[in-house]
Amino acid sequence: MARQSSGIGVWLPDMRRSVENLLMHKLRSLLTMLGMIFGVAAVLSMLSIGAGAQQQVMSFIEDLGVRNLIVEAREATDWQQMQKVRVQSPGLTFHDVRAIQATLAGIEVMTPRKRFIPTKMMPKPQTELPAVYGVDPNYLRIAGLRITAGRFFTSEESARAAAVCVLGEAARTSLFGVDDALGRFVKVNEQWFRVIGVAGPQAVAQTELAGLPAQDRNNLVYVPIGAAMFRLEDTYSEMRDEIDGVYVRLKPDVDMTTAAATVRGILTASHRSYDDYSIVVPAELLAEQQRTKRIFDIVMVALASISLLVGGIGIMNIMLASVLERTPEIGLRRAIGARQSDIIRQFVMETTLIAVAGGTLGLILGVAMSRLIASFAGWSTIVTGGSLVLAFSVSVLVGLVFGVYPAMKAARLDPVQALHYE
């Protein structure tokens, strides 16, 4: 206990002396901290932006289903391009669906998809027109849709191309506002559909991802695929593939890479090697995004740490000036018995206090910047405990590293010469 008290007794006077010296030069101390403050704030805000963006992408990929395999058609955008494609490939068709179903082992469920973009809709949507997805009932399991009201359409309704629909969350709000949508009717172009269910919110990718088009999956109307093909007239049907997507859910023991290679082989044969489709494997995409996130974090921290490096140089510069300014004080302390370790401890403690104070203020500024970015830019930002610890730890480490040299220089001063220094 006595040894512990003695240790605390050694540190407390140095702590008090360091605080008094920093307070004696408030403006200089604040200016010295600015590099640390902005460096920590930059590290934290960049990490929060990266974490927010990655969380959106990760949520979207996980919602796609790590046991799913998705085929997306790359459809022609003009008549000449479509004629060129059709010379070699018939596009994505039901024949492809049957070939995949007959050849690929380990299929749990699958469904083709026909996407339809209406030109008008009633009730008139408050925002952009929802897209229509024609799918089989299996889509409910494959996409992991959560029905918050009503139900999804059945196999019997799908077989007879029933005029029923399920609304995505955004589509329901856009069409009916706060009113109950169940049992109401939606007119898509000239065809009426009865609303039998509402799907819960889903994660959304803001940009095209690995061949998947940017699509607000909450602003959708789900109908039986037969209803989409036979009840809805597609203005651009001559330029469209028979179907534009295939979703396959595989059993847990199936290797996703091998399955994707099998599907690619089937489509290469039927499309005569023409690359008018893309195959998306969410499990592989998720692993790739996780690797990308780690690289992104390293790069962002490295870039933002340049500010901390500048702050560390500022600390070294100020502390070297402080050593020269306080040379007589150092000589006096050495003359009355202070050891070199005592002098080192005093100056390192001052740099540590500057780094800790600057790091703390930087964390506050970084959190504020993250919220401002989220508010004004509309980006998703997430401040994690790991990013707080990392930014603060780096600032303290930089302060310590750049404070050691001035401290050692002060400790090596000759007491006699220091007492006579002017």
- Residue 250 has, within 13 A of its CA and on its CB side, a CA count of 23
Q: Six-digit token pair at 14? A: 């140095």
Helix (H) or strand (E) holding 110: strand 107-116
> Residues near 390 by Cβ (< 8 Å), separated by ≥ 6?
43, 47, 301
pLDDT score, position 137? 95
pLDDT in tens, the chain (422 residues): 444 444 555 566 667 776 777 777 777 777 777 877 888 888 888 788 777 777 766 666 666 777 888 898 887 777 777 777 777 888 889 999 999 999 999 999 999 999 988 989 999 998 889 999 999 999 999 988 899 999 999 999 999 999 999 999 999 999 999 889 999 999 999 899 999 999 998 877 655 555 566 678 899 999 999 999 888 866 555 567 788 899 999 898 888 889 989 999 999 998 888 888 888 887 777 677 677 777 777 777 676 667 677 777 777 777 777 776 666 776 777 677 667 777 777 777 778 888 888 888 888 998 888 888 888 866 778 888 877 887 888 778 877 777 777 777 766 766 656 555 55
Cα distance between residue 64 and residue 60, in whole Å:
6
Q: What is the DSSP letter of 209?
A: B
3-state secondary structure of 289: helix
357 in Cβ contact with 18 (< 8 Å): no
337 backbone φψ class: left, alpha, beta (φ>0; ψ -120 to 50)? left
Q: For the CA atoms of 250, 254, 260, 261, what is the dihedral angle to 10 degrees?
A: -150
pLDDT score, position 239? 61
pLDDT score, position 265? 93
Query: Which residue do the tokens 């540190």 mark?
Result: 11
Sort 310 into a burial class: Cβ within 10 Å, 0-12 / 13-18 / 19+. Answer: middle
